[in-house]
């Protein structure tokens, strides 16, 4: 099974940087995903890591360390529209995704 | 293609009634997933299909729940004798399942309220 931990809430100021950490324990690892979910909406894909290291995509970057069972999502130059829940998800060899409870990020002016 | 489509978007029912949700995945996707999400939690895996075959069912899926994907295209999720604890958002997702990252594309969800 999967055990995925991430902080419940984070608050940051517009223009700042926020780092959301995720730790996991899993069998049959097949990638680490980050999804964004605005209130009342479906989760949308942000990033995918399967090898160790940093993946950068615009204002968002994601890092993975497989040996430590650790990932983080870095949000730079925060905008008000970035206020959302960020879900860490672990992929398994049978192509399922198991999700953490999500981190609610609130961006303040 | 407009993405994953789910209906109804909202359903309010009385305890003990049966409800059915439908999901139309992205047309070229052969994998289809059902998840359940309650407030403040991440999506919880319920079941998934590859084409018409149901490959796995979660322990969360009691015998009151049944899912089908008869022709490997759309899927239905039926809940019989609903209970108040079934109130949740039911999310459907699909993926192409061939040589990709395994990214799931989610529908907008069907929100169930059991009174």
The residue that leads in pLDDT, B72 or A13, is A13
What whole-number distance in Å separates Cα of residue B13 and Cα of residue A87?
A: 30
Query: Cα B31–A85–B85 angle (5° rounding)?
Result: 70
A88-109: average pLDDT: 92
**Predicted confidence pLDDT, tens digits, chain B (115 residues):** 579 999 999 999 999 999 999 999 999 899 999 999 999 899 999 999 999 999 888 887 889 999 999 988 999 999 999 999 999 999 999 998 665 567 899 999 999 999 9
What whole-number distance in Å separates Cα of residue B12 and Cα of residue A92?
A: 34
Q: Is B2 exposed, middle or buried (0-12, 13-18, 19+ CB in 10 A)?
A: exposed
Interface test with A, best of B33, B40, B42 (most A CBs within 10 A): B42
Query: pLDDT value at position A1?
Result: 54
Query: pLDDT value at position B1?
Result: 54
Query: A14: distance to nearest CA of chain B, Å?
Result: 24
Query: pLDDT value at position B17?
Result: 98
Cβ pair A8, A103 in contact under 8 A: yes
A16-23: average pLDDT: 98
Question: Chain B, 61-80: which have a CB under 8 Å from a chain A CB?
Answer: none
Cα→Cα distances B53→A63, A97, B3, B5, B15, Å: 35, 18, 22, 20, 30
The residue that leads in pLDDT, B63 or A93, is B63
Query: pLDDT value at position B98?
Result: 61
Question: What is the torsional sign of CA B48, B66, A1, B107?
Answer: positive
């Amino acid at each position: 099974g999967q055990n995925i931990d991430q902080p419940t809430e984070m608050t940051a100021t517009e223009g700042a940087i926020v780092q959301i950490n995720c730790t996991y324990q899993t069998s049959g690892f097949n990638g680490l995903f980050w999804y964004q979910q605005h209130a009342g909406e479906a989760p949308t894909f942000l990033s995918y890591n399967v090898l160790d290291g940093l993946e950068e995509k615009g204002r968002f970057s994601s890092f993975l360390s497989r040996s430590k069972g650790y990932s983080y999502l870095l949000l730079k130059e925060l905008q008000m529209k970035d206020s959302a829940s960020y879900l860490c998800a672990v992929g398994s060899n049978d192509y399922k995704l198991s999700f953490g409870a999500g981190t609610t990020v609130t961006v303040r002016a | 293609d407009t993405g994953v489509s789910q209906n109804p978007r909202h359903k309010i029912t009385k305890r003990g009634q049966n409800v059915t949700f439908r999901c139309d995945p992205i047309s070229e996707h052969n994998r289809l997933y059902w998840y359940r999400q309650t407030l403040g939690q991440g999506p919880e895996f319920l079941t998934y299909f590859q084409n018409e075959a149901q490959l796995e069912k979660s322990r969360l899926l009691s015998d009151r729940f049944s899912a089908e994907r008869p022709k490997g295209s759309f899927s239905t999720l039926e809940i019989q004798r609903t209970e108040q604890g079934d109130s949740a958002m039911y999310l459907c997702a699909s993926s192409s399942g061939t040589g990709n990252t395994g990214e799931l594309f989610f529908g907008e969800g069907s929100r169930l309220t059991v009174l």
